[in-house]
Amino acid sequence: MITRQRLAAGVCALLAALAAGIAVPAPAVAGETDGEAAPKVELVLDVSGSMRTRDIDGGSRMAAAKQAFNEVLDATPKEVELGIRTLGATYRGNDRQEGCKDTQRLYPVGPLDRTEAKTAVATLTPTGWTPIGPALLKAADDLGGGSGTRRIVLISDGEDTCQPLDPCEVAREIAAKGIGLTIDTLGLVPDAKTRDQLSCIADATGGTYTSVRHKDELSDRVGQLVDRTADPVVTPVATEGAGTCAQAPVLKSGLYTDRVAFGQQRWYRVDVRPGQELRASASVAADRAVNPGYGLLLRAVTLHGREIVRGEAAGTGRTDAVSTGLRYPKPERDGDDENDGDDAQAATETVCLQVTHSFSAAPGVKTTPGLPLELTVDVVSGPDPAHDVAAFGLGRGWWLLGVLVVAGFLAGVLWGWLSRWRIAVWRTN
């Protein structure tokens, strides 16, 4: 039987549980978790009449853009505030002055309602002009101020038709404001003039330009750029590599930017102590038209020119960035090797990083300034050989391989003995 005391105690416990539930804080809205501004991105889509052209995997450019948007909206990180703006989506007339005002905010920058955003995109029909400059100005206003990452991703299949408001000048004006806004551009089956203009827009704000000819390329690239918006803001440090290792700047852990001319090698130096591991990566962006077929080589060598390790990457014609990386774990100093003259046994080793690329400019393309180079250097504590698999080789995997060999041998012997025993028993019977 339930006593009054037990009933009262149960009621008190229930009230306490309810109070605790009420006191649980509500989930943080994007950007409010740690008091930092939410990362923001606005997708700016060209909906001009030329987007009806059917030259992307058998479908129209507009269909490819809608598919890419739907896939990207499904995969957008929850912490990113996303908006969509259009250009050339509503005005069907021939009045240039009116056509160059045709840019609308299709979905406001903010926490993403995927269903609402997809519904808005589904209503779009290729219609009018291509006012890229006015759309960029409005998009910058849509993203507002603040300290968080802000990015515009412009997708267009043609040049701006609303000169003299030059979209390159608009991008430079946005960059000159020092508001930390990046514009990335994607050209759908672009001609030379479109490629030049979109490259110029991206270059003005430190963004990237990508030429797109297939639906999967468009979806992948837009998704990458939206995901990049959620990355922590890191301000790269400008540096200038040298023609030889002896003259190269000494770099510490960090993110660096440089310019590398066509056919030029750049050298940098990093000091690595015993027991540390050097991790480095390099990216070179083709911010202008280049010939198809190119590569990137990142080498770590000693002061005496001996190669330690290398990373390589290659591309086949997409106007984008190519990246590669390497790792070099410097072994702990061993007293038994004091007479070994190899650089690896020095107390602190100077590692020379060499960056070489094989981009070549397309005919008629300016070769100056050099291509944008981004170099990441990270010097960390190396793996403990007693508890880690070796960086190069099987490491502790040899023990597993040995156990498997011994187990297989014993299993074979046991099976052979059992087989002979069964045959002997059968013969005796």
Q: Average pLDDT, stretch 139-159?
A: 90
Q: What is the sign, positive or negative, of the torsion defined by CA atoms of 153, 159, 162, 163?
A: positive
Query: How distant, in Å, are the alpha carbons of 281, 390, 396, 400, 401 from that of 404?
Result: 37, 20, 13, 6, 5
Q: Which of 150, 73, 63, 65 lies closest to 117, judged by CA? A: 73
Give φ, ψ of 178 to 5 degrees.
65, 35
Residue 344 in 3-state DSSP?
Answer: helix
Alpha helices in 91-191 (DSSP H): 96-99, 114-122, 132-143, 167-176
CB 117 within 8 A of CB 73: yes
Question: Domains in the chain, ordered, with CATH?
Answer: 40-229 (3.40.50.410), 237-381 (2.60.120.380)
CA distances from 11 to 2, 7, 17, 23 (A): 12, 6, 10, 18
Which of 18-32, 236-250, 338-352 has the least mean pLDDT? 18-32
What average pLDDT does the chain have?
Answer: 82
Q: Across 118-127, 362-371, 378-387, 411-420, which has the greatest mean pLDDT?
A: 118-127
Radius of gyration of the chain (CA): 30
Read off the tokens for 56: 């992307």
How does pLDDT run across 234-290, given as a tens digit for each residue?
A: 667 889 999 999 999 999 998 898 999 998 999 999 999 998 899 898 988 887 788
Euclidean distance between CA atoms 126 and 92, whole angstroms: 10
Give 297's Cβ-side CA count (13 Å radius).
15
Structure tokens at 133: 């400059």
Cα separation, 299 vs 307, in Å, equals 7
CA atoms in the 13 A half-sphere facing the CB of 116: 11
Provide the edge-to-edge strand list for the sheet that holds 321-329: 237-238, 254-260, 371-381, 276-285, 321-329
How far, in Å, CA of 61 to CA of 64, rounded?
5
